[in-house]
Structure 1
Amino acid sequence: MDRDSGPRVPEQRTPAPIEANGADDAVELRFSVLGPVRAWRAGQALPPGSPQQRALLAALLLRDGRTATSHELIDAMWGDEPPSQALATIRTYAHRLRKVLSASTLVSEAGGYALRIERDALDFSVAQELAAKAEKVRAAGDPGQARMLINKSLGLWDGEPLANVPGPYAENQRTRLEEWRLQLMETRLDLDLEVGAHAEAVSELTALTAAYPLRERMRELLMLALYRSGRQAEALAVYADTRRLLLEELGVDPNPELSQLQERILRADTALAAPVEQHQAPAQLAQPAQLPATVPDFTGRAAFVRELSEHLATAEGSVMAVSALAGIGGVGKTTLAVHVAHEARPRFPDGQLYIDLQGTSTRAAEPEAVLGAFLRALGLPEAAVPDTLDERSALYRSTLAGRRVLVLLDNARDAAQIRPLLPGTAGCAALVTSRVRMVDLAGAHLVDLDVMSPEESLQLFSRIVGFERVTAERQSSLDVVGACGFLPLAIRIAASRLAARRTWTVSVLAEKLADERRRLDELQAGDLAVKATFELGYGQLEPGQAHAFRMLGLADGPDMSLAAAAAVLGLPVQETEDLLEALVDTSLLESAAPGRYRYHDLVRLYARSCAERDETSEEGEAALARLLDFYLATAARVYGIERPGDRLVDHVGPTSLEGVVFADRRRAQDWLYSEANCLLASARQATGARRLRLAADLLWAAQGLAESGANSKLYELAALAVRDAAHDAGELRTEARARVSTTNVHLISGRYEDADDEARIAAELARAVGDAVPQYWSDNDRGIIAFNQGLYEAAEEFLRRASDGARLDGSFSSEASALCNLSRTQLALDRVPEAIDLAQQGVAIYERINHTLRLANARYALGVALTQAGRHPDALEQLSEALELFEANRQRLWEGTAHFRIAQVHLSARRAARAAQHCEQALAIGCIGGDRIRGIVLITLGRALSALGQADRARVCWLEAKSLLEAAGAPEAEEARALLSPLSTL
Structure 2
Amino acid sequence: MPAPPTTSAPVRRRPAAAPAPPQQFKVLGPVRLYRYGEEASAGSPQQRALLAVLLLRSGRTATAAELIDAVWGEDPPSQALAALRTYASRLRKVLSPGVLVSESGGYAIAVAPGSLDLEQAQHLAAEADRCRTDGKSARARMLLDKALALWDGEALAGVPGPFAEAHRARLEAWRLELREARLGLDLELGAHAEAVSELTSLTGAHPLRERLRELLMLALYRSGRQAEALAVYADTRRFLAEELGVEPGPALRELQQRILRADPELGGAADGPEAPYRAALVRPAQLPATVPDFTGRTALVDELVTLLTTEPGFLTAISGAAGIGGIGKTTLAVHVAHAARSAFPDGQLYADLQGVGPRAAEPETVLGSFLRALGTPDAQIPDSLHDRAALYRSMLDRRRVLVLLDNARDSAQVRPLLPAAPGCATLITSRVRMVDLAGAHLVDLDVLSPEEAVQFFTGIVGEERVAAEREAALDVVSACGFLPLAIRIAASRLAARRTWTVAVLAAKLADERRRLDELQAGDLAVRSSFELGYGQLEPHQARAFRLIGLADGPDISLAAAAAMLDGPPEETEDQLEALVDTGFLESAAPGRYRFHDLTRLYARACAEREAPRERDAALTRLLDFYLASAAEAYAVEHPGDRSVEHLAPTSRAAAEFSYLEDARRWLGAETEGILSCARQLAHGARLRRAIDLLWSVKDTVGVRSPRLYHETAAAAKRAAHAARDAQAEGRACAALTAVHLTAGDLRAADAEAQRALVLALAVDDPVTGAWVQYDRGVIALQEGRFPEADRCLREALSRFRADDNPFGVASALCQLSHVEAGVGNVRSAVALAEEAIERIGSEAATLALAESRYALGIALSATGRTGEALSQLDQALVIFEDCGQALGEGMVRFRRAQIQLALRAPGRAAAEAEQALAVLSRVGGDRRRADVLVVLGDAMAGQGESARARTCWAEALAVYERVRGPEGEELCRPLRERLHRAGRTAGEGAGRAAGS
1:170 to 156, 164, 167: 164
- Aligned partners of 1:977, 1:512: CA distance in 2, in Å? 59
- What is the aligned partner in structure 1 of residue 214 from structure 2? 220
Does the aligned pair in 2 maintain the 1:931–1:965 contact within 8 Å? no
Change (3 A) 1:454 1:969: farther
Return closer, same or farther for 1:147/1:467 CA change in 2, 3 Å cut-off: farther
Task: Tell me the SS of whatever aligns to 1:984.
Answer: helix
Task: For residues 113-165 of structure 1, give each alpha carbon's deviation from its aligned partner in whole angstroms, at most 9, with x where no partner exists.
Answer: 11111132110111011101110111011011111111110000000110111
| Counterpart contact for 2:61–2:107, Cα < 8 Å | yes
Residue type of the alignment partner of 2:600: R
- Larger mean CA deviation between 397-406 and 699-708 belongs to 699-708
Report the equivalent of 2:980. Answer: 983
CA distance in 1, matches of 2:935, 2:239: 22
Name the structure 1 match of 2:192: 198
The structural deviation recorded for 1:839 is 1.7
Give 1:940 deviation, angstroms. Answer: 1.8
Name the residue aligned to 2:574.
Answer: 578
1:423 aligns to 2:419 (yes or no): yes
Q: How does 1:507-518 map to 2 (within 5 A)?
A: 507-518=503-514
Q: Which amino acid aligns with 2:510?
A: A
1:146 aligned onto 2:140? yes
Secondary structure of 1:30's match? strand
Secondary structure of 2:120's partner?
helix
Within-5 A mapping of 1:322-341: 322-326=316-320, 327-341=323-337
C-alpha distance in 2, partners of 1:84/1:179?
35
Partner of 2:730 in structure 1? 736
Contact 2:284 2:373 in 1 (8 A): no
C-alpha contact 1:629 1:655 (8 A) present in aligned 2: yes
**Structure 1 CA distance, aligned partners of 2:147 and 2:744?**
42
What is the TM-score with the length of structure 1 in the denominator? 0.91
Q: Per the alignment, in what secondary structure is the counterpart of residue 980 of structure 2?
A: coil
Q: Over aligned residues, Cα RMSD in angstroms? A: 2.7
Q: Does 1:484 align with 2:484?
A: no
Provide the rounded CA distance (Å) in 2 between the counterparts of 1:222 and 1:147: 18
Q: Which whole-Å CA distance do the structure 1 matches of 2:845 and 2:23 have between them?
A: 45
Q: Which amino acid aligns with 1:599?
A: F
Note if 1:398 corresponds to 2:398.
no
Partner of 1:80: 74
In structure 1, the partner of 2:275 is none
Offset of residue 834 of structure 1: 2.0
Alpha-carbon distance change, 800 to 535 in structure 1, aligned in 2, over 3 angstroms? same
Count of residue pairs the alignment pairs up = 953
Return closer, same or farther for 1:136/1:849 CA change in 2, 3 Å cut-off.
Answer: closer
Q: Deviations over 1:621-679 (max 9, x none)?
A: 22111101011111222222222211122222222111221233222221111111111
Q: What is the rounded CA distance, in whole Å, between the counterparts of 2:159 and 2:85 in structure 1? A: 18
Equivalent position of 1:278 in the other structure? none
**Superposition pairs of residues 21-60 of structure 1, within 5 angstroms:** 25=19, 28-60=22-54
Alignment of 1:690-705 (within 5 A): 690-705=685-700
Deviations 1:296-348 (A, max 9, x none): 4434435644664576468626xx73535344211111122223323433443
- Give 1:92's aligned amino acid: T
Contact 2:774 2:812 in 1 (8 A): yes
Contact 1:314 1:321 (8 Å CA) reproduced = no
Look up the match of 1:811. 805
- Out of 407-416 and 209-218, give the one that drifted further: 407-416
The 1-side partners of 2:137 and 2:231 are apart by 29
Secondary structure, aligned partner of 2:203: helix
The residue that corresponds to 1:591 in the other structure is 587
For residue 560 of structure 2, the aligned residue among 564, 573, 581 is 564
Question: 1:76 and 1:100 mapped to 2: Cα distance?
Answer: 22
Distance 2:222 2:674 in 1: 34
Partner of 2:852: helix, strand, or coil?
A: helix
Secondary structure in 2 matching 1:107: strand
Letter aligned with residue 91 of structure 2? L
Moved more, 439-448 or 562-571: 439-448
The reply on whether 1:948 has 2:943 as its aligned counterpart is yes
1:525-924 superposed matches below 5 A: 525-616=521-612, 618-706=613-701, 708=703, 710-847=704-841, 850=844, 852-924=846-918
Q: Secondary structure at the match of 2:841?
A: helix
1:413 paired residue number:
409
Q: 1:442 to 1:177 in 2, by over 3 A?
A: closer
Cα separation, partners in 2 of 1:773 and 1:21, compared to 1, 3 Å: same
Aligned partner (choices 365, 370, 379) of residue 366 of structure 2: 370
Q: Distance in 2 between matches of 1:309 and 1:977?
A: 69
Residue 268 of structure 2 is aligned to residue 271 of structure 1: no
The residue identity in structure 2 corresponding to 1:983 is H
Structure 1 position 131 matched with structure 2 position 116: no
State the distance in 2 between where 1:849 and 1:175 align: 46
Gap change, CA 1:499 and 1:165, over 3 Å in 2: farther
Using the TM superposition, give the Cα deviation of residue 213 of structure 1 relative to its aligned residue in structure 2, in angstroms.
1.4
Residue deviations 1:444-483 (CA, integer Å, cap 9, x gap):
4443322233344344445545567666655444433333
Change (3 A) 1:707 1:623: closer
Aligned to 1:89: 83
Cα gap change, 1:199 to 1:985, in 2 (>3 Å): closer
Shift of 1:217: 0.4
Deviates more, 1:886-895 or 1:248-257: 886-895
Residue by residue, what CA displacement relative to the aligned partner does 1:891-932 show, whole Å, maximum 9, x if unpaired? 122111211111111122221111111111112111767222
Shift in Å, 1:505:
5.3
The one-letter code matched in structure 2 to 1:699 is L
* Structure 1 residues without counterparts, runs of 5 or longer: 1-17, 276-286
Within 2, Cα distance between the matches of 1:408 and 1:523?
29
Identity %: 60
Q: Does 1:239 align with 2:238?
A: no
Deviates most, 354-363 or 329-338: 354-363
1:516 aligned counterpart, secondary structure: coil
Choose which of 119, 122, 136 in structure 1 pairs with 2:116.
122
Do the aligned partners of residues 43 and 506 (structure 1) sit closer, same or farther apart at CA in structure 2, a change above 3 Å counting?
Answer: same
Length-normalised TM-score, structure 2: 0.91
Question: 2 CA distance for matches of 1:851 and 1:216?
Answer: 43
Q: Is the 8 A contact 1:25 1:42 kept in 2?
A: no
Is the Cα–Cα contact under 8 Å of residues 931 and 968 in structure 1 kept in the other structure?
no
* Distance in 1, Cα, partners of 2:652 & 2:433: 34
Distance 1:133 1:967, change over 3 A: same
C-alpha separation between the residues in 1 aligned to 2:958 and 2:515?
A: 44
Shift of 1:561: 0.7
Alpha-carbon separation, structure 2, partners of 1:254 and 1:39: 44
Distance in 1 of aligned mates of 2:899 and 2:906: 10
Q: Does 1:155 align with 2:149?
A: yes
Shift of 1:389: 4.2
Q: C-alpha distance in 2, partners of 1:249/1:88?
A: 48
Mapped to 2, the partners of 1:147 and 1:759 lie a distance apart of: 46
Q: 1:972 to 1:153 in 2, by over 3 A?
A: farther
CA distance in 1, matches of 2:29, 2:284: 64
User: What is the CA deviation profile of residues 568-625 of structure 1, one whole-angstrom value per residue up to 9, with x for unaligned ones?
Assistant: 1212222222221221122111111221110011211222222233332x43222111
The one-letter code matched in structure 2 to 1:620 is: R
Q: Give me the whole-angstrom Cα distance separating, in 2, the residues matched to 1:850 and 1:23.
A: 37
Conserved 8 A contact 2:318-2:329: no
* CA–CA separation in structure 2 for the residues paired with 1:475 and 1:870: 59
CA distance in 1, matches of 2:177, 2:16: 31
Q: How does 1:53-72 map to 2 (within 5 A)?
A: 53-72=47-66
> In structure 1, what residue type is equivalent to 2:713?
A
Does residue 345 (structure 1) correspond to residue 338 (structure 2)? The answer is: no
CA shift for structure 1 position 372: 2.7
